[in-house]
Structure 1
Amino acid sequence: MEGKARLTGRGIRTVQEGLHRPAEADRQEFARVFRRLAGAMHSQDMVYRGFWKADRSLLELPAELCLPAQEPPTVAGTPVTRAQVLAAAYMTLLGSIELAAADTVDDDEAVKITEAWTATLLRRLDRAPDEDRQELIHLFREAADEEVDPTHKAFASGFPEAIGLVEEGD
Structure 2
Amino acid sequence: MGLTNLRPGSANKESSGRGNFERKFDKKLRFYAKVRDTVVSLAARKEIGKKKRLRSRQKKMKAYDLSTLGESLPELSAPQKLPHAINSKLNCKSRQRLVEKESKRLAAVLNHPSFQLDPLSAIHHHLESTQPIQESSNQKKPLGKTRKEKAKRKKTKHPSGTRSMDL
Same fold (TM over 0.5): no
TM-score normalized by the length of structure 2: 0.16
Choose between structure 1 and 2 for higher RCO, CA contacts under 8 A separated by at least 6 residues. Answer: 1
Question: Which structure shows the bigger proportion of residues in helix conformation?
Answer: 1
